[in-house]
């Protein structure tokens, strides 16, 4: 009976997907080689046991705080050669569980990567090197760059190849990141360790006197859950779930059982959800509030007091915690909505002082943008490997939409529930940042009123965004549950 029910549900999903069509205000896709952009591959379906319940996911284990949080090294700029930075994707071995090393991937090292600091207005040349045994790409997540250097799946680096890319840094101060994006292999390569952070700085953010002493009162916090085998190794194939791969252990900046030593005063945490699929709703264990000062792509207009903060995969947020103004700092931790300890804090005798300005930025959704008609509608639907956008799976040879460079359009994004109720789909667009106009017809929450490149779509949600591209090229848009992306929940837009 259980098996019959599984296949009945799959049959319903298949029929719904087959019946999906674009609305009259949507755009027809251009298929260069094939009229059929849909391929229902049932071979990866192990049954409904694999469907991920995002409302009740595999619980995480508490961090015991045995290890001081690793702070990724800053990649120094080369002032002598013809390139500013070199990034090498490589294989490695890392001690994650005590007494057991595991095979990993990393940038310029065994596991994860460094932090790059760029400044608005500069031209940057980066040499990218593939020292892996498989194809990879270098995707600059959240960066406004031309399509040919965005690092999507169209132009992979073969093993042993290297490529120099060059771009102008045009956007404002933000916390971005970089990771691979090879077709069908993104989820596994990120899981093995390919991820790093990219900071943009500018004169305006410099003038605000925000905490900015790297590793002292300004910390990267990259959240990634992983599953270990009984022998203490990372094994993506063993952990794989087509609906999003989860683990029961949290790595923060690659550190298992971390703790973070902080000074007294105001401390800035740059939170990055770098997980394949897990959502995090974070809070302070004391119940105290903190201030969010930035979204994916830049500063908010003013600090927003928050008791909890939800981040879906690929979303970022910068928060300020005032360790002088908390009720209890003796047993203070960053926790999730289940009360699981993610990151214990140890407040030391150091002192840091920063007054957070009441005004941080001048971001706005203009009246003109609010009044623009919807020109593109995208419907995300499905689960496991039966995931689609507008009823279609990704086809590298098909352009799904077009838009003129520099022209603002309004897109409407919908998450259509599936027969099991549906799940959150974090929707990401390459090569630009966008503005959230409304969520289900209402004004977005205050902490969404800033530049975004990824937005969470709850089942049934309808979100309107204003979007413009500064550069030309072909860009991906997709669900950032990495297994969904690899399974075809992705399309592409050509900007010309």
* Res. 156: pLDDT tops 70: yes
Q: Which domain holds residue 460?
A: 2-55+363-495
Flag the least confident range among 10-24, 104-118, 278-292, 469-483: 10-24
pTM of the model: 0.91
In this structure, are 78 and 195 located in the same domain?
yes
In this structure, are 114 and 157 located in the same domain?
yes
pLDDT band at residue 476, thresholds of 50, 70 and 90? Answer: very high
Distance (Å, rounded) from C-alpha 401 to C-alpha 495? 9
In this structure, are 368 and 485 located in the same domain?
yes
* Res. 464: pLDDT tops 50: yes
In this structure, are 172 and 113 located in the same domain?
yes
* Res. 4: pLDDT tops 50: no
In this structure, are 411 and 437 located in the same domain?
yes
Q: Is 256 domain-assigned?
A: no
Q: For residue 315, which of 480, 489, 109 has the smallest C-alpha distance? A: 480
Residue-wise pLDDT for 320-368, tens only, equals 999 998 877 889 999 999 999 999 999 998 888 778 999 999 999 999 9
CATH no. for residue 101?
A: 2.60.40.420
3-state secondary structure of 186: helix
Q: Is 305 domain-assigned?
A: no
Residue-wise pLDDT for 293-320, tens only, equals 999 999 999 999 999 999 999 999 999 9
Residue-wise pLDDT for 11-44, tens only, equals 444 444 444 433 334 454 444 333 333 333 333 3
In this structure, are 42 and 142 located in the same domain?
no
Q: Is 245 domain-assigned?
A: no
Which of residues 157, 173, 207 is at a domain's end? 207
Q: Is 283 domain-assigned?
A: no
In this structure, are 445 and 474 located in the same domain?
yes
For 417-471, where are the E strands, in sequence order? 425-429, 434-439, 454-457, 462-467
- Dihedral angle at the C-alpha atoms of 291, 295, 298, 304, nearest 10 degrees? -30
In this structure, are 96 and 31 located in the same domain?
no
Distance (Å, rounded) from C-alpha 272 to C-alpha 275? 9
In this structure, are 122 and 44 located in the same domain?
no
Across 101-130, average pLDDT: 98
Flag the least confident range among 48-57, 175-184, 226-235: 48-57
Count: domains in the chain? 2
Distance from the first to the final alpha carbon of the chain = 53
Residue-wise pLDDT for 179-226, tens only, equals 999 999 999 999 999 999 999 999 999 999 999 999 999 999 999 999
Residue-wise pLDDT for 412-451, tens only, equals 999 999 888 899 999 999 999 999 999 999 999 999 999 9
pLDDT band at residue 99, thresholds of 50, 70 and 90? Answer: confident
In this structure, are 49 and 75 located in the same domain?
no
Residue-wise pLDDT for 238-295, tens only, equals 999 999 999 999 999 999 999 999 999 999 999 999 999 999 999 999 999 999 999 9
Q: Is 176 domain-assigned?
A: yes
In this structure, are 491 and 466 located in the same domain?
yes
Which of residues 207, 223, 255 is at a domain's end? 207
In this structure, are 25 and 128 located in the same domain?
no
Q: For residue 162, which of 88, 223, 102 has the smallest C-alpha distance? A: 88
Q: Is 28 domain-assigned?
A: yes
pLDDT of residue 3: 38
Distance (Å, rounded) from C-alpha 108 to C-alpha 492? 30
Which of residues 207, 242, 266 is at a domain's end? 207
Contact 386, 396 (CB under 8 A): no
* Res. 50: pLDDT tops 90: no
């Amino acid at each position: 009976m259980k098996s019959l029910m599984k296949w009945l549900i799959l049959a319903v999903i298949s029929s719904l997907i087959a019946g999906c069509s674009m609305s009259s205000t949507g755009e027809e896709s251009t298929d260069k080689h094939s009229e059929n952009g849909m391929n229902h591959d049932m071979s990866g379906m192990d049954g409904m046991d694999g469907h991920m319940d995002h409302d009740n996911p595999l619980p995480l284990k508490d961090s015991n705080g045995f290890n001081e949080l690793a702070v990724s090294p800053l990649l120094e700029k080369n002032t002598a050669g013809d390139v500013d930075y070199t990034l090498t994707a490589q294989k490695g071995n890392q001690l994650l569980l005590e007494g057991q090393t595991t095979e990993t991937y990393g940038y310029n090292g065994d596991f994860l990567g460094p932090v790059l600091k760029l400044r608005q207005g500069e031209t940057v040349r980066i040499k990218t090197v593939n020292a892996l045994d498989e194809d990879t790409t270098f995707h600059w997540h959240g960066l406004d760059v031309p399509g040919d250097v965005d690092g999507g799946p169209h132009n992979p680096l073969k093993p042993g190849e290297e490529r120099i890319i060059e771009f102008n840094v045009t956007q404002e101060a933000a916390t971005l990141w970089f990771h691979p994006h090879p077709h069908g292999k993104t989820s596994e390569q990120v899981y093995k360790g390919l991820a790093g952070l990219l900071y943009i700085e500018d004169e305006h953010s410099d003038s605000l006197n925000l905490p900015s002493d790297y590793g002292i009162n300004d910390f990267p916090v990259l959240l990634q859950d992983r599953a270990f085998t009984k022998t203490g190794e990372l094994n993506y194939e063993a952990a794989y779930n087509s609906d999003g791969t989860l683990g029961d252990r949290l790595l923060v900046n690659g550190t298992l059982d971390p703790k973070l030593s902080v000074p007294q005063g105001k401390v800035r945490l740059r939170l990055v959800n770098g997980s394949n699929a897990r959502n995090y709703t974070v809070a302070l264990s004391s119940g105290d509030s903190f201030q969010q000062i930035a979204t994916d792509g830049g500063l908010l207009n003013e600090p927003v007091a928050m008791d909890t903060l939800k981040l879906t995969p690929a979303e970022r947020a910068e928060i300020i915690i005032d360790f002088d103004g908390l009720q209890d700092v003796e047993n203070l931790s960053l926790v999730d909505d289940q009360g699981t300890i993610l990151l214990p804090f140890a407040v030391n005798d150091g002192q840091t002082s920063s007054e957070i300005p009441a005004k941080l930025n001048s971001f706005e959704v203009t009246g003109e943008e609010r009044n623009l008609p919807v020109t593109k509608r995208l419907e995300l639907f499905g689960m496991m490997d039966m995931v689609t956008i507008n009823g279609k799976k990704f086809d590298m040879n098909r352009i799904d939409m077009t838009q003129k460079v520099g022209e603002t359009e309004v897109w409407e994004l919908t998450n259509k529930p599936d027969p099991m109720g549906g799940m959150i789909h974090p929707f990401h667009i390459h090569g630009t940042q966008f503005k959230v106009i409304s969520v289900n017809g209402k004004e977005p929450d205050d902490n969404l009123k800033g530049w975004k490149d990824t937005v969470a779509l709850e089942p049934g949600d309808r979100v309107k965004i204003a979007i413009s591209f500064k550069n030309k090229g072909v860009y991906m848009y997709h669900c950032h549950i990495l297994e969904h992306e690899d399974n075809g929940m992705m399309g592409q837009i050509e900007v010309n």
